[in-house]
Amino acid sequence: MITNVLGAHTANPITGDFSFGASGFWIEGGNISYPVRGAAISGNMLLLFSNVEVVGSDMRFLGNIGAPGLIISEMEISGVD
What is the arrangement of strands in the sheet containing 17-28, beginning at the earlier edge strand? 2-6, 17-28, 31-44, 76-78
Please give the distance of CA 38 from its chain centroid, rounded to a whole number. 13
pTM of the full structure: 0.77
The pLDDT of residue 68: 95
The pLDDT of residue 81: 61
User: What domain count does the chain have?
Assistant: 1
Residue 81 domain flag: no
Residue 40 domain flag: yes
The pLDDT of residue 67: 92
| Domain that residue 33 falls in | 2-76
